[in-house]
Amino acid sequence: MLWLTLAICFIVTLLITPLVRRFAIKIGATDKPNHRKVHQKLMARLGGLAIYIGFLIGFIVLQPDSTYMMPILIGSFIIILTGFLDDMIELSAKWKLFGQLLAAGIVIYGGVQVEFINLPFDARIELGWFSIPLTLLWIIGITNAINLIDGLDGLAAGVSSIVLITITSLAILGGDLFVAALGVILLGSTLGFLYHNFNPAKIFMGDTGALFLGFMISVISLLGFKNITLFSLLIPVIILAVPISDTFFAIIRRIVNKKPLSAPDKSHLHHCLLRVGFSHRQTVLVIYAMSAFFGLAAVMLTMSTLWVTFIIMAVILVVIELIAEKIGLVSSTYRPMINFVRRFTSATKRNY
């Protein structure tokens, strides 16, 4: 039934996206080119509405049973409404945040919380009252991280699909049918939209889609890894390493350049890859490959011993740092690791 539902969600979204595109153009929900954006012509947005409709159809077909179902449906509606209004009238940052906080608050009230963090050697940290702010930070952070990578045709939808494939696969292997059902419904809907959104895109998902996907992925990842036996947030952090690291380096970049954290720029991961010479489509495929690499690493972590976990984590951190330095994700002069390697290599050559 899972695979049938995936196919239904895919077909529904595939067929309904052109209708949403015409609707968006008719009501003026369009994205105009400017100095910060890559596209060169007027584009319809609101594509996230098609993903949401496919998602609702999947819910009706599969009818996943859980106490979390109603809070998730209410929260997702609020986040869709927030994105829709932003695509229509460009909400201020505080109103967008208010919508996200309200949606997150509802699912947290419904029981979606990080209640503890598992540590090695059977140790565990009970979070107590700190559970709510940490869960809120995770949901808001991932929601906006997916929104930030939505800068090229097919980028956010493709990365989200890879993330969902990883989470859904692990949920199926772990016997978590509710998370698997949510993952399949959302994956089918996202892939159906991606057909129309891949370069050259016919429609953008807009904040309607980016906020919805980010919100749902943040909630699904929490539900899927509440009871894992290693670090409770480690696996979803690795699965979401591409949007999380892009957001992290954006914060570092703005601190280094003494700019407000909310200030927009053209130095995100996809901008940097374009600058070093990749084409639009190549950039998207490279980021897909990065996301797939991290997804595979996350799967390996679920099956590894403690020491292998530390090795994998060390490799992941080194890879992220080297990529950031090589493409200038912070700045063109930020290269501490590369400079260290060069000095070390030069010193070694002199000694010989």
Q: Enumerate the domain spans of the chain.
A: 2-351
CA distance 71 to 104: 9
Q: Which candidate, 189, 263, 208, places its Cα nearest to that of 86?
A: 208
Tell me: the pLDDT tens digits for 5-54? Answer: 999 999 999 999 999 999 999 998 888 765 555 556 788 989 999 999 99
Output the CA angle 57-63-67, nearest 5 degrees.
125
Give the confidence band of 229 by pLDDT, cuts at 50, 70, 90: very low
Q: What share of the chain is helix, strand, coil (3-state, %, to 5)?
A: 70, 5, 25
Residue 10 near residue 188, CB atoms below 8 Å: yes
**Residue 199 backbone phi and psi in degrees, to 5:** -60, 130
Q: What is the mean pLDDT of residues 258-267?
A: 74
Strand partners, 44: 30
Give the confidence band of 249 by pLDDT, cuts at 50, 70, 90: confident
Tell me: the pLDDT tens digits for 131-172? Answer: 899 899 999 999 999 998 988 999 999 999 999 999 999 888
pTM over 0.85: yes
Q: How many residues does the chain have?
A: 352
